[in-house]
Amino acid sequence: MIFIKKVGNRYYKEMRFDLRSLPIKKVEAEKLLSDGKAELITKFLWERPEEVKLETIQEKPKNVLDLTSRINAKKEEEAVQQAQIKFKDEYLPFLSKNDLELLLHSDKSNFGETIVKICMRIDIEKKLKSL
């Protein structure tokens, strides 16, 4: 049995022992096919199958570093450090005993609000002194 592959308008005959194909004339190929001595195939045995493209799920691998999250974390850390330095330099010297007691006895949920209130009061006092 001879195997023939049609590619476009051309026909190729399989040379199984050499693992290659040779072009043959259209008339010869049609004669072999009509006589039943040849079979028309879509690919030869040695040809690679067409690669199937699989859909990939867009998940980030766990062993790869995420640089953007690290950069954002570093920026947040720097902002916290700058806020701490600013509080120590500009507000801590002006805290009164009552302010310290408020900070010590405030809950975690109200701690930020108490700091903001104290800092606003100190800023207002500084502005009034400068006038």
Res. 79: pLDDT tops 90: yes
Q: Which of 12-16, 39-43, 48-52, 71-75 has the highest mean pLDDT?
A: 71-75
Q: 115 CB contacts (<8 Å, ≥6 apart)?
A: 87, 103
Question: With bands split at pLDDT 50, 70 and 90, how would you rate the model's confidence at 81?
Answer: very high
Q: Is residue 75 part of a domain?
A: no
**Would you say residue 72 lies in a domain?**
no
pLDDT-derived band at 71, boundaries 50, 70, 90 = very high
Residue type, 90: E
pLDDT of amino acid 72: 92
The residue to which tokens 């007691």 are assigned: 101
**Residue 69 within any structural domain of the chain:** no
Domain total for the chain?
Answer: 2
Question: Could you give the count of Cα atoms lying within 13 Å of 44 in the half-sphere of its Cβ?
Answer: 20
Instruction: Say what the pTM is.
Output: 0.43
Whether 35 is covered by a domain: the verdict is yes
Does a structural domain hold residue 126? yes
Instruction: Assess if residue 74 is contained within a domain.
Output: no
Q: Is residue 73 part of a domain?
A: no
Range of the domain at 17: 2-41
- With H, G, I as helix, E, B as strand and everything else as coil, classify residue 38: strand
State yes or no: pLDDT of 52 exceeds 70.
no
Q: What letter does residue 53 receive in the DSSP assignment? A: P
* pLDDT of 78: 95
